Chains A and B, each alone.
Chain A
């Protein structure tokens, strides 16, 4: 089961190549994006290491279980509720961003609700799967679509349109102090590993996680962040890149495949990113539902021996996401994601504190 933790990390990173992280980073291109990214990688790797090492010590147990064992109800109920909201928001922001993107670039005339509905149906069905099956479906998604991803990224890097002078200009802006939003944005790239707090239930065998593995995650993160930040600059220029609302779609739209089935590479990119992001959204909503189940559970809500609480959650989740898609504007969504990333350090503080409390409880 060791490999699944890397899937969790990788899917989350790939999803955020396109979603809101590049927009935030490129927005701060002359205000310290690079130093923020460097800082983000270090802090993110440290966080990854701590989280994984912590959970390898208790294989087969997820955080809610551990908290139930060693903490009082009054502590862990609000904490789990807060965590659930964090995961739900993370998934929803991705969902709404992708819906907006598709609406703008693929079918500008289509109503936004029709656009989001198929998404919601598929994600809802995914969320209702068993946790173990979600891991397996993520694996299938990655195995099927990673070759396509590697192809489109190779194509992008080999594109003649990249002017590396722009990239160098961006690097020459290294002499700025890190920016908080850019830091939390690049830190968010590492969020995938925290999914372990629920998925650890299925990591029964002890995970081995040493220097080699941290190096692997580090390399992946650096590649992903480099691609996220520098590829749009190489193709879109430096000075005005912060004015693009969806820099990554514009970037992929700048790559032409002369002898392909489709001349515009943007559609292949979209196919790749949408599938990967779907599994990320499924994972995040699933965790949100699982955590919420620990707090709110209607024992009587049964229908032919099946408890309907998860179904209820999924319906509420979908309705909230649908309403959000309909009401929120581009700019509000961007602001929302920035403030979400900005509160991430608080989230990690609470996570680490509760992990520490569990450990203390276990010792005494």
Chain B
């Protein structure tokens, strides 16, 4: 018995010995590390290089009470590859650069037409950059966007994160695209990725995010206006806070959309061009009206809104069709509902320009608000 106890004692001491070397940070303490919160990629200014990489590094502060505002350091370098630039940046700082908290990747809009796979490679290959990081297109440059420190930014929080994480501002104008979504759309067939377009004002005190770009392979990204962005975002991601203006000759209604539900299927009939049947169910409340409303006429308002929205959707769909982009993922749906063979996708490619759309709206106004 004492034998067993001895073995147990030895075993326990070995385990305890190991706890002493478990420092938790792979032998490098937290004060020997700097945390990158954002990476920006721009085309290089010098022609001999390819990329300019900018890192936004959060500086630690003693306590939030003492800090007057957030403090960041910025480091840039140009090189042929992203990792080479980062290796050089590592020599400009005394600490280990840690990408575990990198949650924002800004890519200059001028770079989005190039071979996306080559520079996406770095982010995907590194295991420690999270796939739930946000990807955004930057204008005029990623460096400029990262260096913008909005006046409303408070200590110990990153303004750029607040835009996207659903905890801060919550606007239908802001499209959020995670790195994994971007990856699967760029590398897959049948869906084009939409990235938010981040701009800043002239003196660098405000970040402005209300446009977006559709990324296409080997072509310039297609810019969507604020309205298109907002509408698309509500349709596809059921973003909250969208208000829609309905008007005819004698009535103007502003609807606050509570819920968007979109269903579509692709129908191939004989002798007829293929078409997309789209059914949208909308639940809304009235936000503002030019006239006194009556509860008994609510069906009329519903019909009015349905008609109006139908046209907006048709406009958006035909706009995408004309520009040959497919952010809704019709191609994906086509592949998902046809038994696969070698040329399923090619068949779809040929079909898309002639596709017809049949949009049916069902708007349900739940409430007129507090007054009639």
Task: Give the interface of A toward B (CB within 8 A).
Answer: 30, 104-110, 114, 117-118, 121-122, 125, 161, 163, 165-166, 168-169, 172-175, 235-240, 243, 249-250, 253-256, 258, 263-264, 266, 304-306
Contact = CB atoms under 8 A, between A and B. Distances in A.
A74 to B, nearest CB: 36
Contacts of A125: 11, 15
Q: Which 5 residue pairs spanning A and B have beta carbons closest together?
A: A237-B184, A168-B336, A240-B187, A254-B180, A104-B127
A173 B338 CA distance: 9
Given A165-B332, A168-B336, A108 B127 contact: yes
A172 B132 contact: no
Contacts of A266: 130
B188 interface: yes
Q: How large is the interface on B (under 10, 10 to 19, 20 to 34, 35 or more residues)?
A: 35 or more
Contacts of A235: 180, 184
A86 to B, nearest CB: 28
A305 B3 contact: yes
Nearest to B103: A263
Given A105-B127, A163-B184, 9 more contacts: A125-B15, A163-B329, A166-B184, A169-B332, A175-B341, A237-B184, A238-B188, A249-B127, A254-B132
Interface string B78-91: 00000000000000
A107 B26 contact: yes
B166 A258 contact: yes
B347 interface: no
Interface string B280-316: 0000000000000000000000000000000000000
A243 B340 CA distance: 21
B140 to A, nearest CB: 30
A172 B184 contact: no
Nearest to B335: A169
B115 interface: no
Nearest to B179: A254
Contacts of B167: 258
A255 B183 CA distance: 14
A168 B337 contact: yes
B72 to A, nearest CB: 20
Nearest to A167: B336
Interface of B: 3, 11, 14-15, 18, 21-22, 26-28, 96, 126-128, 130-132, 165-167, 178, 180-181, 183-185, 187-189, 329, 332-333, 335-341
Choose among A166, A304, A306 the residue with the greatest number of B CB atoms under 10 Å from its CB: A166
A201 B94 CA distance: 60
Nearest to B185: A237
A109 B28 contact: yes
Contacts of B132: 253-256, 263-264
A109 B25 CA distance: 10
B18 A118 contact: yes
Contacts of A258: 165-167
25 contacts: A105-B127, A105-B128, A108-B128, A109-B96, A110-B26, A118-B22, A161-B178, A163-B184, A163-B329, A163-B332, A165-B336, A169-B332, A169-B336, A172-B336, A172-B337, A174-B339, A235-B184, A236-B180, A237-B183, A243-B187, A249-B127, A253-B180, A256-B178, A264-B130, A266-B130
A264 B130 CA distance: 8
Nearest to B99: A108
Given A163-B332, A304-B3, A172 B183 contact: no
Contacts of B15: 121-122, 125
A328 to B, nearest CB: 18
Contacts of A30: 340
Contacts of B332: 163, 165-166, 169
A142 B210 CA distance: 48
A330 to B, nearest CB: 12
B233 to A, nearest CB: 14
Contact of B335 (A117, A163, A172, A175): A172
Contacts of A165: 329, 332-333, 335-336
B345 to A, nearest CB: 9
B336 A250 contact: no
Contact of B130 (A106, A163, A175, A253): A253
Given A172-B336, A240-B188, A254-B178, A121 B28 contact: no
Contacts of B128: 105-106, 108
Choose among B180, B329, B337 the residue with the greatest number of A CB atoms under 10 Å from its CB: B180
Contacts of B333: 165
Nearest to B342: A30
A235 B146 CA distance: 28
A98 to B, nearest CB: 14
B361 to A, nearest CB: 23
Contacts of A106: 128
Contacts of A110: 26-27
Contacts of B127: 104-105, 108, 249
